[in-house]
Amino acid sequence: MKTEMKMKDGRVLTIRNAEVADAAAMVDYVNMVSGESDNLSFGQGEFGISVEDEMKYVAGLNDGNFNFMLLGTVDGKIVTMASISRPHRPRVKHIGDFGISVAKEYWGLGIGRQMCLATINRARRVGVSKIDLKVRVDNLNAIALYESVGFRHEGITTRALKIGDQYFSNLMMGIEL
């Protein structure tokens, strides 16, 4: 799978499956975005995944028909990642847990929306009938994005993140496919 689309600034975003050969660039990308906002479940230097771990993880995705990870590149550079992770047990394997990030330099260009739509389409094709995500209650831009592609509010969990001494609640959002 490979799709290309024009961003708001006219440059081209390519969305494709992550491959083992991307592992080093993926780790570099995640280490970079982890320092760019406090909206992820890990901060600067807290990702803790080596290139070797990442290679094993991507190799384990096989053909992307169960769990998958999509990369978005601009001029060959990774600028966004989105993933769906599913539990294996029969009664819950229809649920895909969604994660997404966009490099700060590229925010506001329509990339987040395209990655959400690409993830939803792929999830539907591989048998996911429910996507769940968690987002910090004060991450209003992300919440607006998720609402606009069809996610609904499903509840709030308190003390979901602890950053320094401060706790943050998460909003649970979901979409039925």
**Which stretches of the chain bind ligand COA, using CB under 6 A?**
37, 39-40, 100-102, 107-113, 135, 139, 141-142, 144-145, 148
Rank residues 55 and 103 by Cβ distance to ligand COA and give the closer one.
103
Q: Counting beta carbons within 10 angstroms of the beta carbon of residue 79, is it exposed (0 to 12), middle (13 to 18) or buried (19 or more)?
A: buried
55 or 100: CB nearest ligand COA: 100
Q: How far is the CB of 110 from ligand COA (least distance, A)?
A: 4
| Min CB(136)–ligand COA separation in Å | 7
Tell the smallest beta-carbon distance from residue 170 to ligand COA (Å): 8
Q: Which is nearer to ligand COA, 111 or 131 (CB)?
A: 111
CA separation for the pair 145, 143 (Å, rounded): 5
Tokens coding 156: 């709030």
**Smallest distance from the beta carbon of 97 to ligand COA, in angstroms?**
11
Q: Which is nearer to ligand COA, 42 or 57 (CB)?
A: 42
Shortest reach from residue 171's CB to ligand COA, in Å = 9
Question: Hey, what long-range contacts does 22-28 have (CB within 8 A, 24 or more apart)?
Answer: 22/58, 22/71, 22/78, 23/51, 23/52, 23/54, 23/55, 23/58, 24/51, 24/54, 25/77, 25/78, 26/54, 26/58, 26/71, 26/78, 26/81, 27/51, 27/54
Structure tokens at 81: 């990642």
Q: Which is nearer to ligand COA, 9 or 52 (CB)?
A: 9
Exposed / middle / buried, residue 109 (Cβ in 10 Å: 0-12, 13-18, 19+): buried
